[in-house]
């Protein structure tokens, strides 16, 4: 199996895993789906993704309490949902051999932003002699604040599913890019991180779909950007904050062979348009003090009011 075939196989397995999770009522209540699968759903594009991204639903987090309880819940429900889905196939093609759960970081995050990482080891009956197939990966991020219309129901393969709205994705991607830049890494005393240039690529794709003249959409995205930044103490003085080490960002963008849909000049222009619009809306500057005490994940709540 060459790399292209492997990527297609992983995407096919993930599609079935997503369907299994969305058919399971308990998991639908616990998780809100986001990431590349949901972005492609919003944009009407068919593209492969190498993992599934979800966030813990704040109300579910409050109900579960500790991270241990949350993990125990997922250990019980996730493998069972996937196995049942696979067993309903006719003919049965996939079987799940094992579900491996890890935490990122391995010890508790000092601010309660723990991520649960799941690797599903799957066998394919069409390739019974092929061993060492790549696992299907799922990441569940800690719950965080978002606005009242940031989550919506969308149809995924005939199943109503709770997903991030497109304006929430746009706001979160802007925040995510900032978290990879030197100023934020220094503020949070984190190590170096590769610039998240894929977020620039995806933002340009969103701008193609929802141009800046769609003022209502980008006003909502701005509010989600602010909430997302506040949730993770991400400062932003203005458009110039996005341009830290910009030459390095451009180089990494050009070197990434997966970013083929949008040339870098278009991605740069899209970012400039968005940040200029946000400046005009008056969102900048953003500055948040980091509290000195540990914030347990179980205390994270949903923001129900726009700010």
State yes or no: cis peptide before 211, omega within 30 of 0: no
For the segment 48-90, what is each residue's pLDDT rounded down to a tens digit? 678 999 999 999 999 999 999 999 999 999 999 999 999 999 9
3-state SS class at 124? strand
pLDDT exceeds cutoff 50 at 298: no
Q: Which one, of 81, 83, 141, 137, lies nearest residue 112 by Cα? A: 141
Give pLDDT, residue 307.
25
| Residue ranges covered by each domain of the chain | 3-163, 166-299
In sequence order, what are the beta bridge partners of 122?
96
State yes or no: cis peptide before 265, omega within 30 of 0: no
Give pLDDT, residue 306.
30
Q: DSSP readout, 134-164?
A: PPEEEEEEPP----TTSEEEEEETTEEEEEE
3-state SS class at 140? strand
Max CA-CA distance within the chain? Answer: 60
CA distance 12 to 81: 17
Average pLDDT of the chain?
91
Helices then strands, each counted (H, E), the chain: 11, 7
């Amino acid at each position: 199996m060459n790399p292209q075939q492997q990527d297609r196989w992983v995407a096919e397995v993930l599609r079935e895993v997503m369907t299994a999770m969305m058919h399971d009522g308990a998991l639908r209540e616990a998780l809100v789906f986001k990431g590349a699968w949901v972005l492609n759903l919003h944009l009407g594009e068919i593209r492969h993704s190498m993992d599934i991204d979800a966030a813990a639903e704040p109300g579910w987090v409050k109900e579960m309490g500790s991270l241990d309880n949350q993990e125990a819940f997922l250990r019980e429900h996730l493998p069972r949902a996937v196995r049942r889905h696979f067993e309903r196939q006719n003919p049965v093609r996939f079987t799940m051999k094992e579900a491996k759960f890890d935490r990122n970081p391995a010890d508790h995050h000092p601010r309660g932003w723990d991520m649960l990482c799941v690797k599903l080891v799957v066998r394919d009956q069409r390739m019974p002699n092929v061993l060492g197939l790549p696992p299907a990966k799922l990441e569940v991020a800690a719950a965080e604040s978002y606005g009242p219309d940031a989550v919506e129901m969308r149809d995924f393969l005939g199943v109503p599913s709770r997903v991030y709205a497109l304006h929430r994705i746009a706001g979160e991607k802007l925040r995510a890019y900032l978290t990879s830049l030197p100023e934020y890494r220094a503020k949070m005393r984190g190590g170096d991180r590769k610039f998240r240039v894929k977020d620039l690529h995806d933002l340009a794709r969103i701008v193609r779909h929802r141009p800046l003249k769609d003022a209502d959409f980008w006003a909502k995205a701005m509010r989600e950007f602010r909430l997302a930044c506040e949730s993770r103490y991400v400062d932003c003085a203005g458009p110039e904050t996005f341009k830290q080490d910009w030459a390095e960002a451009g180089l990494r963008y050009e070197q990434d062979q997966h970013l083929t849909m949008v040339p870098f000049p278009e991605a740069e222009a899209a970012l400039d348009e968005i940040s200029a619009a946000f400046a005009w809306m008056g969102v900048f500057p953003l500055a948040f003090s980091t509290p000195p005490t540990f914030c347990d994940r179980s205390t994270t709540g949903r923001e129900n009011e726009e700010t």
